Structure 1
């Protein structure tokens, strides 16, 4: 294998100059940079990563903590983080926690042990204070998608309330008055904000938000099944359901079919996320599109800024949009009686 000295000899410079060039610690004339790059390519030189990390004091790696990499939403988010990190010379270590507190805390401790240069944290549970205590005072951390109370680090979220506001307004404009909402865990930031957006749209239309028609549990297909079963088994079911994730919406679709009903003829449905499968299900799902790739990319940019001693915005909210497909129609005459 070619060595640093081999590259230096080929390029006609000192080994120290090559080392400093590779570590971005020297400003060389373009002609010199070109000779070093050409020598590296010709000799197929591979830097000694361990030596480089010892020299720079950096691992050149980030940690991404995600609740469930099998979930298409978090998989897309992780892919965006990896792309942006790799483009800037960083590897990404991904921990899929399954929503378990111990796994989340272990990932944070690994950062404290200098195994990574920074951490992008996503969670799907309400913190009991444990995560906040571990993150308190730590640098080079960015929160993504969900908040953790008591932590002062840059955050990247979407406009959750605007999303459900647009969804509810769309259902109301289509003639629906009896609208239910199925959401994630009670007290989670996104859940509270999406409920607030829904409530705002209903209030503006002079429509009641029935307590029995707001069901909060998990952002999962299984919870969509359980909640939709409760709603459709009622004597007076809603004519429309706003599912606060596309995964929940898939569960709702299953229950609607099991009850011998159809979407949107018997009940209308709106999701939240716009995962790739949303356009492929039958009927194609009307949903709120989150800019998932932009979220992941911005989180990495914020982390890089922190590493460079800069101060990113304390909180960034990315816009969402309503994507209309075929899962919403005016309520049937039978439902209006």
Structure 2
């Protein structure tokens, strides 16, 4: 029997008489044959592998995102290559080049830094099988799936104002990053609706614990009138909490706090921290669906999809302290 006929049978391309099919199966069992996935990929022009490139594998948000995408890939019998870029442009460009060379069929890319145009150009000239997740690369003409950051900032601001706070600080990520700008804008929109409230300061650098520590220390030193803080990520919030503890200050009693993400164990803290929750699993699922559709040749709209966030009220916001 011709090898091509056996190959087509094993791949489901043809049906053979029961006796012939049984002979093939018996031979496979006797020889212990296992298909070579690499040879199969070459013949089909596909690897059945997707890549997810994230800035920091230790960050709880990106870990949950990776878990959601991995579940989707498993359901579709696809392999997932998890790539950590350390938030470096050079490594992001390397994974885009690997996609161009067909190391995998598609790339989900989550960056966490501002782009000077280099990344956008590489994305636009590489392949349509790229979906941006969580953060934008301005000018990139691919499908994008984000949270509604501005809605989150507005919800946080409105909740803080409802508790009676009028002097508020924002600790955000990199100043030119989409999420930083939009979360700040949402907070500003809420504050501007109040005649006597003000945004005392915006301290923006990185979505890291170190930045949270430095920003909270600056607020304590130079902005003692601030009674509430909106932190742009859980990582920033952890740094804020460390500094408050070092200064003997209590969340809610001395300073109200709302964070963005809600991917950690905030409900176990004392007091539990109020948060704007991102739909992390849904972001991963939506991005995966768009990428899978593009790979199979379906028409995928090059547009931005924003998923709604929600306020998870706990106990970290209370009426402002007395002077």
Q: TM-score, normalised by structure 1?
A: 0.87
Which structure 2 residues correspond to residues 117-128 of structure 1 after superposition, within 5 A?
117-128=105-116
Equivalent residue number for residue 217 of structure 2: 229
Residue deviations 1:60-102 (CA, integer Å, cap 9, x gap): 1111110001101111111111111121121111211111111
Q: Which whole-Å CA distance do the structure 1 matches of 2:34 and 2:225 have between them? A: 65
Name the Cα RMSD after superposition: 2.3
Equivalent residue number for residue 169 of structure 1: 158
Q: Which shifted more, 86-95 or 152-161?
A: 86-95
Equivalent residue number for residue 275 of structure 1: 263
Residue 7 (structure 2) pairs with residue 19 (structure 1): no
Residue 290 (structure 2) pairs with residue 299 (structure 1): no
Match of 2:130 among 132, 135, 141: 141
| Superposition deviation, residue 327 in structure 1 | 0.8
Residue deviations 1:243-294 (CA, integer Å, cap 9, x gap): 0111111111111111111111010000000113211222211000101011
Q: Is the 8 A contact 2:234 2:264 kept in 1?
A: no
Equivalent residue number for residue 110 of structure 1: 98
May I ask how many residue pairs the two structures share in their alignment?
Answer: 313
Which structure 2 residues correspond to residues 59-70 of structure 1 after superposition, within 5 A?
59-70=47-58
Equivalent residue number for residue 76 of structure 1: 64
Which structure 2 residues correspond to residues 1-20 of structure 1 after superposition, within 5 A?
15-20=6-11
Equivalent residue number for residue 312 of structure 2: 323
Match of 1:191 among 167, 177, 180: 180
Residue 77 (structure 2) pairs with residue 86 (structure 1): no
Q: Is the 8 A contact 2:50 2:79 kept in 1?
A: yes
Q: Which whole-Å CA distance do the structure 1 matches of 2:121 and 2:160 have between them? A: 42
Q: CA 1:207–1:15 in 2, change beyond 3 Å: closer, same or farther? A: farther
Q: CA 1:45–1:167 in 2, change beyond 3 Å: closer, same or farther? A: farther
Q: Is the 8 A contact 2:166 2:198 kept in 1?
A: no
Q: Which whole-Å CA distance do the structure 1 matches of 2:166 and 2:298 have between them? A: 49
Q: Which shifted more, 160-169 or 132-141?
A: 132-141
Q: Which whole-Å CA distance do the structure 2 matches of 1:207 and 1:88 have between them? A: 54
Q: Which whole-Å CA distance do the structure 1 matches of 2:143 and 2:35 have between them? A: 33
Return structure 1 stretches of 4+ with deviation > 6 angstroms: none
Equivalent residue number for residue 11 of structure 1: none
| Superposition deviation, residue 236 in structure 1 | 3.0
| Superposition deviation, residue 161 in structure 1 | 0.4
SS at structure 1 position matched to 2:265: helix
SS at structure 2 position matched to 1:214: strand
| Superposition deviation, residue 19 in structure 1 | 3.1
Equivalent residue number for residue 233 of structure 2: 245
Q: Which whole-Å CA distance do the structure 2 matches of 1:223 and 1:321 have between them? A: 25
